[in-house]
Structure 1
Amino acid sequence: MKISIISIPVRDQEKALKFYTEKLGFIKKLDLPLEGGNRWLTLVSKEAQDGPEILLEPAPLHFEPSKVYQEALLEAGIPYTQFDVEDVQIEYDRLSKLGVEFSMEPMEMGTVKVAVFYDTCGNNIQLVEKI
């Protein structure tokens, strides 16, 4: 068994696509039209193009429990998911220059260094560096 796709709920797929590709550097893998103007929209890491895909899922627009869950996590300041990076400070500096809003600057927490940013589409995302 292996992970092939992980969903991230987004409020606007086009806005999310722009943010995740232009700011974070992911690459679009699939973009297939679905009913109601939605898309099966997946991204991959430049470093692992055959690896797990991120599905930019429009669930909060069509499934109230998803919207409630997403808003509760955001309000509590809890990250929806995390991305591993080699150096949190370098990513923090790079993303800050691109206008990405961080709610938590790089901070050491035991054996990791973390930072948290807002993805502009309803989610806090945590960056993690193993130290």
Structure 2
Amino acid sequence: MNIIVTSLFVDNQDKALAFYTDILGFVKKHDVPAGNFRWLTVVSKDDENGTELVLEPNDNVAAQDYQNSLMQQGIPATMFGVDDIDKEYERLKTHGVEFTMAPTAAGDMKLAVFNDTCGNLIQLIEQ
């Protein structure tokens, strides 16, 4: 069994697509109309047949409450792996990305947390 799709609530699909592709470097995989919204997914440019991330509209109270609660408590909504967290931190900072936690050692790994501008905190990890 494999994870093929996972979702992340976003407050604006267009803004999320721009951030996740232009800033983070993901690649748009699917963009299909679905009523008032879209089935909008991105994938890693290094594995375009890998796990898809759905940029899911938070257009319901439960999604908004969940997203707001995680943000208020400082809990990342998901985690992305990187090879060199210090390099990625510097690259993202040059693009104006706001970090709530700079690269920090945690045992045999390093972690950092940033705001995705779409209602989520995202954790980076270098193992």
1:28-55 superposed Cα distances (whole Å, 9 cap, x missing partner) = 000000112x000000101111100000
Is the partner of 2:83 in helix, strand or coil? Answer: coil
Say which of 65, 68, 72 aligns to 1:75: 72
Is the partner of 1:7 in helix, strand or coil? Answer: strand
Match of 1:21 in 2: 21
Q: Distance in 2 between matches of 1:111 and 1:123?
A: 26
* Amino acid across the alignment from 1:3: I
CA drift at 1:66 = 1.2
* Amino acid across the alignment from 2:119: G
Match of 2:47 in 1: 48
Q: Is it true that 1:34 corresponds to 2:34 in the alignment?
A: yes
Sequence identity (%)? 50
> What is the TM-score normalised by the length of structure 2?
0.98
Structure 1 residues not aligned, in runs of 5+ = none
CA drift at 1:65 = 1.1
Say which of 112, 117, 124 aligns to 1:127: 124
Say which of 87, 93, 99 aligns to 1:96: 93
Is the partner of 1:90 in helix, strand or coil? Answer: helix
Aligned residues: 127
After superposing on structure 2, the runs of 4+ consecutive aligned residues of structure 1 that deviate more than 2 Å are: none
* Amino acid across the alignment from 2:44: S
> What is the TM-score normalised by the length of structure 1?
0.95
* Amino acid across the alignment from 1:123: N
Higher helix content, 1 or 2: 1
Q: Root-mean-square deviation (CA), in Å?
A: 0.5
Q: Distance in 1 between matches of 2:108 and 2:63?
A: 32
1:5-33 superposed Cα distances (whole Å, 9 cap, x missing partner) = 01000000000000000000000000000
Q: Distance in 2 between matches of 1:20 and 1:101?
A: 14
Structure 2 residues not aligned, in runs of 5+ = none
